[in-house]
């Protein structure tokens, strides 16, 4: 066994003394091989205010510190690629500056400074796809994923509702054996525990309120025509499911939900007649002359397909045009 | 009709600006929640060269519940039945709002590359896939050629 470089043993000792459980030293035959620690921004000791973090792994080379160690950043949370590559190039610089002396503390400090400067999650909320800006109320899960509180509340509420619905489908004797509802992170499915009522009080994401409305561009229209033409060619070859059906395909059946929507809107919507025509939800408007694929007056594809239960007969009795 | 959620608008824009190779999804002219989709058959699969038309519908509470997706073009696949319905966990209990239209369609494309006859939806197809895989693959190629090739 080679004698350990005193500079290395001193550094490792100091790291363990200061970082305690927050640092992992990997040793082989008592010789330190790698040092690993999760770096957070400086926020006093307030972990709730830390929105970003990254795992630093330093693999010591046999001649370290006279040669540079291999440095790897893993599991970045809340950091975008641009910041990560900036930190990586600063690390490279630091390594060449510090050749010949222990560098791990310097690296931790350098990364921490960067994280403290950008301690606001970058990227988007995975639920609404909008960013985090001033005025947004957002939350960091235990797994370091960020969501607008408003969005996470919607997810958790829907998750619990789906769980209840599935539970009610089970026979009584199975319900008691089913594990209780467990909140989970939408991104990594880790279990989380959040106060949904508190989250729900948060305002919706700022950027989503200012987003421009939907408009059908010329580009989209051109693509629609291409799609329709392709479909028409496949129909002609008999390559489409249910080719004998002159109406729209089964996913597009009229559903009670669609009818309800139209009915609900009628008392305060003077244009209901026109809308029923455009969407074909009312009797008689989805007649066959409009149903050829590619026709601009094709009946609307509007109803959710309700035949996804595997044993059911999809679309039975609910198909719109006959 | 209720205003279209911003997330759907954003996904639609991104599908146009940064299209996924081998996948196109275009909203219907009459309903922005209904998408016309084309998935190209993956290379080195029996579906290679095919253009598969699908329909995708975003339900009222999307993204809190999964999109409804179905093949319109006929396809010979153990996890897709003769009505075009797809057996895929993320479309059911494994749905998460962090998934998107693009990730769902990528998963479907991946399912074409990796048929799973042990979790079948089309029982006769799955059966043949298990007992005589080469014949099943021949059938899948033939169906692709007959129904999904655009020439």
Q: B116 vs chain A: nearest CA distance in angstroms?
A: 17
Q: What is the pLDDT of residues A159-196, one digit of tens each?
A: 999 899 888 988 888 888 888 899 999 999 999 999 99
User: Considering only A212-226, A247-261, B93-107, which range has the smallest mean pLDDT?
Assistant: A247-261
pLDDT value for B13: 87
For residues A137-146, average pLDDT: 86
Report chain A residues whose CB lies below 8 A from the CB of B30.
278-279, 298, 300-302
Is residue B92 over pLDDT 50? yes
For residues B70-76, average pLDDT: 94
Tracing tokens 């799973």 back to the chain, one arrives at B116
Of the partner residues B36, B97, B147, the one whose CB lies closest to the CB of residue A224: B36
For residues B118-137, average pLDDT: 87
Closest CA to B40 of B30, B28, B31, B52: B52
Instruction: List the 69-108 stretch of B: residues with Cβ below 8 A of A.
Output: 70-74, 82-85, 87, 92-93, 96-98, 100
Across the interface, whether the CB atoms of A239 and B38 are under 8 A apart is answered no
Please say if B87 is a catalytic residue. Answer: yes
Across the interface, whether the CB atoms of A249 and B121 are under 8 A apart is answered no
Residue A288 confidence class, pLDDT cut points 50, 70, 90: very low
Provide CB contacts within 8 A for B52, sequence distance 6+.
B38, B39, B40, B41, B71, B73, B75, B112, B148
What is the ipTM metric for this complex? 0.80
Mean pLDDT of chain A: 75
Question: What is the distance between the alpha carbons of residues B143 and B137, in angstroms, rounded to a whole number?
Answer: 10
Question: What is the distance between the alpha carbons of residues A232 and A319, in angstroms, rounded to a whole number?
Answer: 21
Of the partner residues B7, B28, B83, the one whose CB lies closest to the CB of residue A129: B7
This prediction has a pTM of 0.63
Q: How many other CB atoms are there within 10 angstroms of residue A259's CB atom?
A: 13
For residues A240-245, average pLDDT: 62
Structural domains in chain B, CATH included, are 6-148 (3.10.110.10)
Is residue B29 over pLDDT 60? yes
Q: What percent of chain B has pLDDT over 70?
A: 97
Distances (CA, A) of A274 to A139, A173, A175, A292, B77: 44, 51, 48, 21, 42
Across the interface, whether the CB atoms of B6 and A310 are under 8 A apart is answered no
Question: What is the distance between the alpha carbons of residues B117 and B119, in angstroms, rounded to a whole number?
Answer: 5
For residues B12-24, average pLDDT: 90
Is residue A307 over pLDDT 60? no
CA angle A110–A143–B95, rounded 5-degree value: 135
Best CATH choice for the domain A138-210 from the list 3.30.40.10, 3.90.105.10, 3.90.1150.10, 3.40.50.10860: 3.30.40.10
Residue A3 confidence class, pLDDT cut points 50, 70, 90: low
Segment of A18-32, A104-118, A301-315, B61-75 carrying the highest mean pLDDT: B61-75
Report chain B residues whose CB lies below 8 A from the CB of A162.
65
More confident: A119 or A268: A119
Is residue B55 over pLDDT 80? yes
Across the interface, whether the CB atoms of B6 and A128 are under 8 A apart is answered yes
Q: A11 vs chain B: nearest CA distance in angstroms?
A: 42
pLDDT value for A310: 38
pLDDT value for A287: 37
Q: Which of B38, B80, B87, B91 is catalytic?
A: B87
pLDDT value for A42: 82
Q: What is the pLDDT of residues A268-282, one digit of tens each?
A: 433 333 333 333 333
Residue A230 confidence class, pLDDT cut points 50, 70, 90: confident
Is residue A73 over pLDDT 60? yes
Dihedral Cα A257, A259, A265, A266, nearest 10 deg: -160
Environment class of B21 (CB within 10 Å of its CB; exposed 0-12, middle 13-18, buried 19+)? exposed
What fold is seen in the domain A6-117?
Ubiquitin Conjugating Enzyme (3.10.110)
Tracing tokens 């309800």 back to the chain, one arrives at A260
Provide CB contacts within 8 A for B143, sequence distance 6+.
B74, B75, B76
Question: What is the distance between the alpha carbons of residues B12 and B19, in angstroms, rounded to a whole number?
Answer: 10
More confident: B108 or A29: B108
Domain extents in chain A: 6-117, 138-210, 219-290
Distances (CA, A) of A110 to A114, A125, A173, A203: 7, 27, 58, 36
Distance of CA A19 to the CA centre of its chain: 33
Across the interface, whether the CB atoms of A155 and B30 are under 8 A apart is answered no
Which tokens is B128 given? 């043949």
Question: What is the distance between the alpha carbons of residues A256 and A157, in angstroms, rounded to a whole number?
Answer: 24
Q: What percent of chain A has pLDDT over 90?
A: 26
The SS3 of residue A72 is strand
Of the partner residues A166, A220, A304, the one whose CB lies closest to the CB of residue B16: A220
Q: A234 vs chain B: nearest CA distance in angstroms?
A: 7
Across the interface, whether the CB atoms of A302 and B72 are under 8 A apart is answered no
Closest residue in A to B7 (Cα) is: A128
pLDDT value for B151: 66
* E strand residue ranges, chain A: 23-28, 31-39, 53-59, 70-77, 138-140, 146-148
Strands B51-57 and B68-71: antiparallel
Across the interface, whether the CB atoms of B38 and A230 are under 8 A apart is answered yes
Closest residue in A to B87 (Cα) is: A310
pLDDT value for B117: 86
The SS3 of residue A54 is strand
Provide CB contacts within 8 A for A89, sequence distance 6+.
none
Provide CB contacts within 8 A for B14, sequence distance 6+.
B102
Across the interface, whether the CB atoms of A216 and B27 are under 8 A apart is answered yes
Mutation target vs A (from B6, B54, B67, B100; most A CBs, 10 A cutoff): B6
Mutation target vs A (from B64, B77, B79; most A CBs, 10 A cutoff): B64
């Amino acid at each position: 066994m080679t004698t350990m470089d005193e500079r290395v043993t001193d550094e490792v000792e100091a790291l363990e003394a200061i970082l305690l459980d927050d640092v992992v030293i990997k040793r082989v035959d008592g010789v330190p091989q790698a040092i690993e620690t999760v770096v957070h921004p400086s926020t006093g000791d307030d972990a709730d205010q830390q929105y970003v973090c990254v795992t630093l792994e330093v693999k010591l080379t046999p001649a370290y510190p006279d040669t540079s160690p291999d440095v790897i950043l893993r599991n970045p949370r809340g950091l975008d690629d641009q910041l990560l590559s900036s930190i990586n190039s600063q690390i490279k610089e630091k390594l060449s500056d510090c050749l010949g002396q222990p560098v791990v503390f310097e690296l931790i400090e350098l990364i921490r400074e960067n994280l403290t400067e950008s301690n606001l999650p970058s990227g988007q909320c995975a639920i609404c796809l909008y960013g985090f800006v001033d005025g947004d109320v957002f939350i960091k899960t235990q797994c370091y994923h960020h969501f607008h509180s408003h969005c996470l509340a919607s997810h958790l509420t829907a998750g619990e509702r789906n769980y209840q619905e599935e539970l009610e489908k089970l026979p009584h004797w199975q319900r008691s054996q089913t594990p209780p509802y467990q909140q989970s992170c939408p991104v990594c499915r880790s279990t989380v525990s959040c106060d949904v009522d508190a989250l729900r009080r948060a305002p919706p994401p700022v950027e989503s309120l200012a987003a421009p409305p939907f408009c059908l561009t010329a580009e989209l229209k051109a693509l629609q025509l291409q799609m329709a033409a392709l479909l028409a060619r496949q129909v002609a070859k008999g390559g489409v499911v249910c080719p004998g059906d002159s109406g729209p395909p089964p996913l597009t059946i009229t559903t009670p939900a669609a009818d309800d929507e139209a009915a609900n809107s009628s008392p305060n919507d003077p244009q209901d007649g026109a809308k029923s025509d455009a969407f074909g939800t009312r009797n008689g408007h989805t007649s066959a002359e409009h149903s050829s694929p590619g026709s601009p007056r094709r009946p609307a594809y509007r109803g959710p397909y309700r035949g996804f239960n595997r044993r059911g007969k999809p679309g039975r009795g609910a198909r719109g045009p006959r | 009709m209720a205003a279209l959620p911003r997330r759907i608008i954003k996904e639609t824009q991104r599908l146009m600006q940064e299209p996924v190779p081998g996948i196109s999804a275009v909203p219907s002219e009459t309903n922005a929640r209904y998408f016309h989709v084309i998935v190209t058959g993956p290379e080195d699969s029996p579906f290679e060269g095919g253009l598969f038309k699908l329909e995708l519908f975003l339900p009222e509470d999307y993204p809190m519940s999964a999109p409804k997706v179905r093949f319109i073009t006929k396809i010979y696949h153990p996890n897709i039945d003769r009505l075009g319905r797809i057996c895929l966990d993320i479309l059911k209990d494994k749905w998460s709002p962090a998934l998107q239209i693009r990730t769902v369609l990528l998963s479907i494309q991946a399912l074409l590359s990796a048929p799973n006859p042990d979790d079948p939806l089309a029982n006769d197809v799955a059966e043949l896939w298990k007992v005589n895989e080469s014949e099943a693959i021949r059938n899948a190629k033939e169906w692709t050629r007959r129904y999904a090739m655009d020439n």
